[in-house]
Amino acid sequence: MKAVRKQKPGQTNTDEIVESLRRAILEHKLIPGAKLSEDEVCAVFNVGRTIVRGVLQALAHENLVTIKRNRGAFVADPGVREAREVFEARALLEPRTAHSAALRATKKDVKTLRAHIAAEHAAIEAGDIGSAVYLSGLFHAAIADIADQSTIAAFIQSLVSRSSLIVALYWKRRNTLCESHAHHELIDAIANNDGPRAEALMQSHLVDLLSGLDLREKPTAPSSLKEALGSPSV
């Protein structure tokens, strides 16, 4: 029998640190590309380097953190290609999952979904877009849970988390969250056990979200003055 390791007073456990950093990333309090200093994480959570390295590895496994050799850990900074692939994957998985959720949903499930969007709209009204994006992600994850497809739900959870980073980088129409009634309509379809309508609404919703992103390739900066000027004749 393993001995139970006692937690020091004021010390936070590993799961709590992972969740705290995950939420900070998903709510855009830690922006893509931000460095996560081991020393700073140790100091903030009153833990040692071994725990912090495990935490950062766990977040890297979720594609929320990138660990660069000899440079440290950084909040993931997805490129345009990855952004497109993430939303393409969501468009493949989530509509069918919404269909399945609608066929399985109970009154309790519908109540849970309505609580999610109530919290999301409260965040929007308060001007807290980061929290609204986070809560929107929870809404999509809840639909996957209702569908009772654990393997697909895990994929969707990962994709939704990565979408939050993408929104932080490429969002061009922040009022899309405010102007869209897709979540309300989705809940109505799920409450009515209308699988085909829930599927169609989810597909339309994801197209709308994608249209709110600016995924044009950005020109790369010249690496030298010579490259910037070309080969001017003297």
Spatial separation of the C-alpha atoms in residues 203 and 54, rounded to whole Å = 37
Does 141 share its domain with 37?
no
Q: Report if residue 139 sits inside a domain.
A: yes
Does 53 share its domain with 91?
no
The pLDDT score that the predictor gives to residue 7 is 47
Does 21 share its domain with 109?
no
**Edge to edge, what strands does the sheet with 72-75 contain?**
35-36, 72-75, 65-68
The pLDDT score that the predictor gives to residue 5 is 39
> Domain of 62: which CATH number?
1.10.10.10
Does 43 share its domain with 155?
no
Report residue 223 as tokens.
């690496």
Q: Report if residue 5 sits inside a domain.
A: no
Can you list the pairs that 212-220 forms with residues at least 24 positions away whose Cβ atoms lie under 8 Å? 212/171, 212/172, 212/173, 212/174, 212/176, 213/83, 213/87, 213/166, 213/167, 213/170, 213/171, 213/172, 214/170, 214/171, 214/172, 215/80, 215/83, 215/84, 215/170, 216/80, 217/80, 218/80
Q: pLDDT tens across 168-221, in order?
A: 888 876 555 544 577 899 999 999 999 999 999 999 999 988 888 888 765 555
Higher pLDDT, 213 or 101: 101
Does 49 share its domain with 157?
no
- Structural domain harbouring 68: 14-75
> Domain of 168: which CATH number?
1.20.120.530
Q: Report if residue 48 sits inside a domain.
A: yes
Does 197 share its domain with 149?
yes
Spatial separation of the C-alpha atoms in residues 41 and 97, rounded to whole Å = 37
Helix (H) or strand (E) holding 88: helix 80-104
Q: pLDDT tens across 22-69, in order?
A: 999 999 899 999 999 999 999 999 999 999 999 999 999 999 999 998
Does 84 share its domain with 71?
no
Does 45 share its domain with 105?
no
Does 24 share its domain with 57?
yes
The residue assigned the tokens 């993430």 is 86
The pLDDT score that the predictor gives to residue 4 is 36
Spatial separation of the C-alpha atoms in residues 9 and 96, rounded to whole Å = 47
Q: Does the pLDDT value for residue 2 go beyond 50?
A: no
The CA-atom distances, in angstroms, between 75 and each of 54, 69, 92 are 15, 14, 26
Total number of domains constituting the chain: 2
Does 90 share its domain with 197?
yes
Give the mean pLDDT of 222-234: 56
Does 93 share its domain with 123?
yes
